[in-house]
Amino acid sequence: GVFQVEPRIGMAFTDAFLMSCSQWEDDNLPLSYQFSYVMAGSGGRSTVLRSASIVAYASSLLPNGLKELNYSL
């Protein structure tokens, strides 16, 4: 499958990021999609932006990451 985010680079708490999934397949239908992010340096802990749904896209504002990790999520 394909996961895309637009824009690829943006301003925290200002730009809405559109996340979308396509071409995912499984015998167990319908598929459901949950969108979350992992803050760099968090030890892998994720924050859910939208809980599981059959809708294959979501839009959300995102926070800034840590300065020492170039503000990445």
φ, ψ dihedrals at 51, nearest 5°: -70, 170
Would you state the pLDDT for residue 73? 81
- What residues have CB less than 8 Å from 7, skipping those under 6 apart? 15, 17
**Tens-digit pLDDT profile for residues 24-54:** 999 999 999 999 999 888 888 999 999 999 9
pLDDT of amino acid 24? 97
Q: Which two tokens stand for residue 9?
A: 């680079």
Bigger pLDDT: 70 or 3? 3
Mean pLDDT of the chain: 94
